[in-house]
């Protein structure tokens, strides 16, 4: 990646600067440690200590994929902080779909709360961290990992992980992809202030509504099975469970993980 050559293109889109590192522990960790300001993008070609949600390791082969963090402040109500995940996952999927012909778009989907799937396998994930929940102007560290040109994954994840290259046979230019993502991010930003519309369009790529799922509750590490009823305008997922007396209960969750029951 030669970010220096194209920095100007990013700055034209609204960024203050692009901080590129040939290697870095983690772009999210760097943003926090160095207290990087809003509208800066941190990018690395080799992230050797990447982390995902629930502190899981984020595996990414050096020089093959996108691993970056955008620092961005938004004036948001506390109720709406989850929307950043939905906005970012929608935007990244939108930017990526644009490079493919229309007939392939249905292969791409979103999984609650912010996984990017291609043919039902995960090729991208987002880890957004909020640093100052009590302030009106909220500062988010929005980290994204997108598997682009990696051809193989380690045994432990190869059944559920994929990359754009694995599914299409095409090798993609990372700088171009990143530029497209940032262009879409800044170009649609008013959507953040329109939760109803945002969730509505996010749900168009979400295929779990009315499906039976397993839901892992991260709050107490337990699992339930139930039916996905809806994703609410604040990003919560509503799950219906049925107890032994056949009574239906509805609960809205804000964190956790869903998976299909096959
Ligand atoms: C997930 O699906 O659990 C989220 C994965 C997020 C990975 C990205 S890669 C860039 C940024 N830096 C990190 O350490 N993590 C995020």
pLDDT of residue 220: 84
Q: Whose CA is nearest to atom 16 of ligand 1?
A: 143
Ligand 1 atom at minimal distance to the Cα of residue 60: 9
Which pLDDT score is estimated for 219? Answer: 78
Q: What is the pLDDT of residue 169?
A: 95
From the alpha carbon of 26, which atom of ligand 1 is closest? Answer: 14
**Number of helices (H) and strands (E), helices first, in the chain?**
6, 12
Ligand 1 centre and the CA of 56: distance in Å? 9
pLDDT of the residue at 262: 67
Average pLDDT, consecutive stretches of 10 residues, N- to C-terminus, the chain (262 residues): 80 96 98 98 98 94 98 95 97 97 96 96 97 94 98 94 97 96 98 97 96 91 95 96 94 94 76
Ligand 1 centroid vs 26 CA: distance in angstroms? 8
Q: What are phi and psi of 167, to 5 degrees?
A: -85, -20
CA angle 112, 72, 41 (to 5 degrees): 100
Pocket of ligand 1 (CB under 6 A): 26-28, 47, 50-53, 56, 58, 67-69, 115, 125-127, 143-145
Looking from the CA of residue 68, the nearest atom of ligand 1 is: 10
Cα distance between residue 137 and residue 53, in whole Å:
24
How far away, in angstroms, is 27 Cα from ligand 1 center?
8
Residue 237 to residue 203: CA distance in whole angstroms = 11
Question: Is cis: bond before 113, omega within 30 of 0?
Answer: yes
> In terms of residues, how long is the chain?
262
Cβ partners under 8 Å of residue 58, min gap 6:
47, 50, 51, 52, 67, 125, 127, 145
pLDDT attached to residue 5: 62
Minimum CA distance residue for ligand 1 atom 3: 52
In sequence order, which residues have a C-beta less than 8 Å from that of residue 170 and are 6 or more positions away?
Answer: 164
126 C-alpha to ligand 1 centroid (Å) = 5
Task: Locate the ligand 1 atom nearest the alpha carbon of residue 115 and give its number.
Answer: 2
- Nearest atom in ligand 1 to the alpha carbon of residue 29 is 14
């Amino acid at each position: 990646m030669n970010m220096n050559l194209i920095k100007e293109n990013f700055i034209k889109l609204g960024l203050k600067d692009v901080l590129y590192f040939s290697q870095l522990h983690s772009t999210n960790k760097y943003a926090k440690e160095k207290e990087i300001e809003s509208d800066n993008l941190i990018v690395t070609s080799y992230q050797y200590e990447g982390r995902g949600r629930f502190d899981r390791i984020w595996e990414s082969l050096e020089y093959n994929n996108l691993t970056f963090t955008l620092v961005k402040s938004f004036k948001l109500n506390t109720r709406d902080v989850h929307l950043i995940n939905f906005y970012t996952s929608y935007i990244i999927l939108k930017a990526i779909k644009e490079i493919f012909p229309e007939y392939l778009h249905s292969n791409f989907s979103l999984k609650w709360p912010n996984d990017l799937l291609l043919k039902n396998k995960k090729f991208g994930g987002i880890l957004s961290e909020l640093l100052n929940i009590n302030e009106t102007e909220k500062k988010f560290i929005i980290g994204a990992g997108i598997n682009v040109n990696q051809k193989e994954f380690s045994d432990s994840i190869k059944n559920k992980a994929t990359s754009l290259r694995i599914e299409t046979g095409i090798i993609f230019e990372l700088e171009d992809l990143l530029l497209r993502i940032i262009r879409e991010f800044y170009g649609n930003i008013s959507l953040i202030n329109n939760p109803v519309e945002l969730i509505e369009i996010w749900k168009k790529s979400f295929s779990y509504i009315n499906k039976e799922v397993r839901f892992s509750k991260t709050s107490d590490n337990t699992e339930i099975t139930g039916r996905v009823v809806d994703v609410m305008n604040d990003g919560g997922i509503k799950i219906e469970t049925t107890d032994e007396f056949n009574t239906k209960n509805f609960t809205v969750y804000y964190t956790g993980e869903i998976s299909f029951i096959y």
